[in-house]
Amino acid sequence: MAGKPNGTIGILTAGGDCPGLNAVIRGVSKAAMHYGIKVIGIRDGFRGLVENCTMPLDNALVSGVLTHGGTFLGSSRDKPHKMQVGNKTVDRTDDAVRTYRKLKLDCLVCLGGNGTQKTAFRLHNRGGINVLTLPKTIDNDVAETDITFGFDSAMAIATEAIDRLHTTATSHQRIIVCEIMGHSAGWLCLGAGIAGGADVILIPEIPYDLEAVARHILERQQAGKRFSLIAVAEGVVSREEAKARATADRLTNELGALTRIVTHPSSQSGEGVHLVQEPVASRIARNLQQLTGVEARVTSLGHVQRGGPPTPFDRLLCTRLGTMAGELLADHHYNIMVGLKGTECVPVPLKRVAGIKRIVPPNHPWIKTARLVETCLGADT
């Protein structure tokens, strides 16, 4: 039962969708309403804040959404300080702050990953508004929390996919490469690879040697193993590519940041031709087939990993994070992220989170675990 009026908050979901967003919206909203706080939903992420696109939330509206995937508020990757308007990128931070003031918000609650943490902190610093964030991403790469919501659900999906691929791999004596999301952090690929019993796991934090991977596969064949299953994070790089990047970064630092021009693989050339880069998993499979003589196939899970209902673990985590946020809002505790440390939900100053990416350290227990069950991590050592 709600107490006396205790202010107003806005809540939005930004970045890519993932299982658990609706569960967190429910947790934050119900807890806030319990303390007499009015809740306004902001549609389609930060774009809704800029354009003042909102909807009132009440107990009835957030009931029954715990098990639903996606976000009923909608999401986008727009950022107020660089909004796309036609062919131009413009700064609409002032519009976002104006909406915050117009709605008479006491705090803006932002559910999202690394980009959202940075954007929320920037709004606080530039606009002088109060923010509170919760860590969402299937990549599990947000700093100052042991786990992000959405990660467990995505890992379960990726693990099930690896389980199913074992059937075809062993039936046809093939190499099957399964591409899993993760541009710069390998938590999802590593966790799903270990849980699914992948024979090779390649993650961005450990540059791979394809010849070492090929040797591992051939050794398995000689030991009577009929197949090899490889879990590959989409952001992996070979040792050669890592060295080239390190050299380029060094030259950039020496010559100045403006000397390095990065072109998106699908950007248009001067002749009007779109250049399409071969997916890394496809390239790895093709080269391994040449090195080993073993037939190889590729499966890319893509956005399947983001979809569907959250796991029981994520439902519990989302509800705990959301209700803790409600308590902190009632105490007027702002400009923080609510994270999980051990078994406790705790507030963390947002300045310790924004702009920091949590990657897999080389001495992490999962790395040791993988090696002790004879999983190849892309190199002989």
* Residues annotated as catalytic (active site), given as ranges: 139
Residue 244, token pair as written in the block: 């080239």
Residues 359 and 205 sit within 8 Å (Cβ to Cβ): yes
Which residues, other chains included, contact 45 with Cβ-Cβ below 8 Å and sequence gap of 6+?
Answer: 12, 13, 14, 15, 74, 75, 76, 77, 78, 112
Give the three-class secondary structure for 300: strand
Residue 237, token pair as written in the block: 């790089």
Instruction: Describe the crossing of helices 114-127 and 93-102 by its angle, rounded to 10 degrees.
Output: 80
Residues 294 and 288 sit within 8 Å (Cβ to Cβ): yes
Residues 362 and 371 sit within 8 Å (Cβ to Cβ): no
Which residues, other chains included, contact 309 with Cβ-Cβ below 8 Å and sequence gap of 6+?
Answer: 19, 67, 68, 69, 153
Q: What is the CA radius of gyration of the chain?
A: 23
For 106, other C-beta atoms within 10 Å of its C-beta total 18
DSSP state of 82: B
Residues linked to residue 13 through DSSP beta bridges, in sequence order: 111
Residue 96, token pair as written in the block: 């976002």
